[in-house]
Amino acid sequence: MTPLVRRLCLALSALFLIAAPVRAAERAPVILISIDGFRADYAMRGLTPTLAALATEGAWAPQGMRPSFPVNTFPNHYTLVTGLRPDHHGITDNTMFDTGRPGVKFSMGARDQVEDRFWWDGGEPVWVTAERAGMKTATMFWPGSEAAVRGVRPTTWFPYQESLSAFDRVDRLLGWLDLPQAERPRFMTLYFEAVDTQGHRFGPDSPELNKALADVDAALARLVAGLKARGVYDQVNLVVVADHGLAQTSPERVVFLDDVAPADSFTVITAGWTTSLIPKTPEAAKALVGRHKHFRCWRKGSMPRRLNYGTHPRIPPIICLSEIGWVVTTRARNADRPMTRIGGSHGADPFDPAMRALFVARGPDIRAGVRLKVFDNVSVYPFVMALLGLTPQPNDGDPKATAPALK
């Protein structure tokens, strides 16, 4: 090597060493937005023009994303930010028990449990890895963000508050973008529940659901306008997802577990389209396991492989899945919470198209006009980590599923 070439090489490598961290630090922020219960095909109703524009200018999965089993809110939100199946991250359903906490019930409304890392430490969400890498993160609600997972919380987070309007949530997020560069978060979340709420109350084809679609789109429009006003619309990566879809229920489609085994021979942990049970006797277990009219039950270790579920200690011994639209419950539960009042639900087989969730992404690091084939929601995590320039934790995702959307 001549001295000149050597000098050139040294200069180049020095440049690289300096340039690499600068490039990493300059990566565009990521805003991960969840519209709870936004079924993939809702985007085609012509009621969400902002979302349509994002899809045109960015990447979109027109047929949607396949959720993970069980198709409920908490397990799937944690999957989206960890890339792990619920069986692996440990948020095995919206309601759980753990032998390490005898008699304590985890549920979405149990604030002290929701804010306790004990339940969440099985996974490492994006914001924890990002904070450890020195990035600021901020969450405008996300299941798990209220706990110090593995000892780390987002720099800014809020306890879930349903009454905070969608516009106020957007405005809080926009406020973060006005912070001095050193304090500005690089990873942010936003969460909207109205589409899921109205879907449950009135069903997927109701005017009320359509109104919620328009309202959530107006919140997205406010976000886009705020980004444009700050001159940063083309400098942030927006990733808009849902946790699951929704399908119609009917008072005529209810089946009772007590028709299969005596009501006092098992304990129901969760009921609906995915039902979990603890049998009290071997006879009860024998009666419950197997195929029944409109639903089927398995012992947790024998579930179909495609459901990726059944090994975690928090999963009750028997899991049932109903035909889409058929609610499984007990007569006592039905007297308490009559299924006739319900318009829509989720929790069905994740392979059913009605359970598929929204995926749209738009920004400087996302290819415009890309249309992704149906993919499993575990692959959102490697996509978000790539956008942030962070090394993903071990996960169940397939980076190839979302890679076509990356520049």
Q: Helix, strand, or coil here: 307?
A: helix
Question: In terms of CB distance, is 118 or 235 closer to ligand AMP?
Answer: 118
Contacts with 306 (C-beta within 8 Å, 6 or more apart), sequence order: 351
Nearest-angstrom CA–CA distance, 130 and 390: 7
Nearest-angstrom CA–CA distance, 153 and 398: 27
Instruction: Select from Zn ion, ligand AMP, none the partner in contact with residue 237, using the beta carbon and a kind-dependent cut-off of 5 to 8 Å.
Output: none
Is residue 287 within a helix (H) or strand (E), and if so which, with residue range? helix 282-288
Structure tokens at 106: 């985890």
Least distance to Zn ion, CB of residue 37, Å:
5
Cβ 139 vs Cβ 158: under 8 Å: yes
Interface residue list for ligand AMP (CB under 6 A)? 36-37, 72-73, 94, 108, 114, 141, 143, 160, 162, 193, 196-197
Window 187 to 206, contacts with Zn ion (CB under 5 A): 196
Instruction: Select from Zn ion, ligand AMP, none the partner in contact with residue 141, using the beta carbon and a kind-dependent cut-off of 5 to 8 Å.
Output: ligand AMP
Residue type, 283: E
Nearest residue to Zn ion, by Cβ distance, number only: 73
Which active-site residues does the annotation give?
Answer: 73
Question: In terms of CB distance, is 186 or 244 closer to Zn ion?
Answer: 244
- Site for Zn ion (CB under 5 A): which residue of 87, 93, 131, 243? 243
Instruction: Select from Zn ion, ligand AMP, none the partner in contact with residue 94, using the beta carbon and a kind-dependent cut-off of 5 to 8 Å.
Output: ligand AMP
Contacts with 36 (C-beta within 8 Å, 6 or more apart), sequence order: 73, 191, 192, 193, 195, 196, 197, 242, 243
Question: In terms of CB distance, is 72 or 275 closer to ligand AMP?
Answer: 72
Nearest residue to ligand AMP, by Cβ distance, number only: 73
Nearest-angstrom CA–CA distance, 329 and 336: 11
What is each CA distance from 156 to 77, 173, 242, in whole angstroms?
Answer: 19, 10, 22
Q: How many residues does the chain have?
A: 407
**φ, ψ dihedrals at 391, nearest 5°:** -75, 125
Question: In terms of CB distance, is 110 or 221 closer to ligand AMP?
Answer: 110
Least distance to ligand AMP, CB of residue 326, Å:
17
Question: In terms of CB distance, is 111 or 371 closer to ligand AMP?
Answer: 111
Instruction: Select from Zn ion, ligand AMP, none the partner in contact with residue 170, using the beta carbon and a kind-dependent cut-off of 5 to 8 Å.
Output: none
Least distance to ligand AMP, CB of residue 31, Å:
17
Binding site for Zn ion (CB under 5 A): 36-37, 73, 196, 243
